[in-house]
Amino acid sequence: MTAEITFSESAARQLDDAIRTRVHEIRSAWDELVVLLEQAAQGELHAALGFASWTAYVADVFGETPMQLERGDRRQAVKYMADQGMSTRAIGAVLGIANTTAGRDLAIHDLLNGNDEGRDVTGLDGATYPRPRAKRADLVDPAPREKRPTVYRQASAIHQDLLDVVEAIEEIATDKRYNAHRDTVLMAFKPAFDKIDRIRLFLMGDIPRI
């Protein structure tokens, strides 16, 4: 539903300024966070707190409230964390994205900037693993998966069609000529009626399978 636009020009500019200010604040907060993270990493804060690795510490900090960033900011964050030796799984936990998305963001940066080093990364368990090398195929965003409709939506979609069929059968049953052709009509409908009856019993839980 599209809301009716009711802003005056002055009100619109005021809201626009507020939005732009907040975006600036978010980006400034990210920059400040990076400085704090760098200080913590250099001083091995994770070791002082008993974490198996820096990766495990960062994932623990952000795990309950993953950061939700726009694509451009997210890719910068992925690059920064990867430069800290974090695995894509750990980066995904921090940013609230799939590890495959983090890997694709990193691959895009590496391929576009010639930084395909394949260096080691640190996992949540503190172990090191070779960083996967970027592939050209990673530059292409995967096609969105078609969302399968819920069972309720599927049922709703055929509801009217089913009613139309029932009304058509009712029209035949009330036709004056029906009694003269009852046997042949019932014979024509019998396979469908039998199947519908078994489906009804299955839906009601009276039989284990259709």
User: Contact 54/41 with Cβ under 8 angstroms?
Assistant: yes
Is there a single domain that holds both residue 87 and residue 171?
Answer: no
Distance CA 150, CA 110 (A): 40
Is there a single domain that holds both residue 118 and residue 177?
Answer: no
Residue 3 in any domain: the answer is: no
Output the pTM of the full model: 0.41
Is there a single domain that holds both residue 105 and residue 56?
Answer: yes
User: Cα(first)–Cα(last) distance of the chain, in Å?
Assistant: 41
Q: At what angle do helices 71-83 and 99-113 cross, to 10 degrees?
A: 80
Q: What mean pLDDT do residues 146-166 have?
A: 78
pLDDT at residue 143 above 60?
A: no
Range scoring the smallest mean pLDDT among 99-103, 124-128, 162-166, 183-187? 124-128
Q: What range does the domain containing 198 cover?
A: 151-203
205: pLDDT confidence band, cut at 50, 70 and 90? confident
Residues 6 or more apart in contact with residue 130 via CB below 8 angstroms: 118, 119, 120, 121
Is there a single domain that holds both residue 23 and residue 104?
Answer: yes
Is there a single domain that holds both residue 86 and residue 132?
Answer: yes
What does the pLDDT read at residue 56? 78
> How many structural domains are present in the chain?
2
Is there a single domain that holds both residue 69 and residue 173?
Answer: no
Name the residue with higher pLDDT: 106 or 186: 186
pLDDT at residue 42 above 50?
A: yes
Q: What are phi and psi of 47, to 5 degrees?
A: -65, -40
In sequence order, what are the beta bridge partners of 130? Answer: 120
Is there a single domain that holds both residue 76 and residue 167?
Answer: no
Please write the tens of the pLDDT for every residue from 47-57: 898 888 777 78
Residues in the chain: 210
What does the pLDDT read at residue 65? 65
**Paired tokens of 207:** 């039989």
Is there a single domain that holds both residue 128 and residue 186?
Answer: no
Among candidate residues 84, 111, 139, the one where a domain is terminated: 139
> 3-state DSSP call for residue 111?
helix
User: Considering just the CA atoms, what is the radius of gyration of the chain in Å?
Assistant: 30
User: For 102-135, b where at least 16 C-beta lie within 10 A, e where not — what string?
Assistant: bbbbbbbbbbeeeeeeeeebbbbeeeeeebeebe
Strands 128-130 and 120-122: antiparallel
4: pLDDT confidence band, cut at 50, 70 and 90? low
pLDDT at residue 1 above 50?
A: no
What does the pLDDT read at residue 2? 47
Q: What percent of the chain has pLDDT over 70?
A: 76
Q: What mean pLDDT do residues 26-30 have?
A: 73
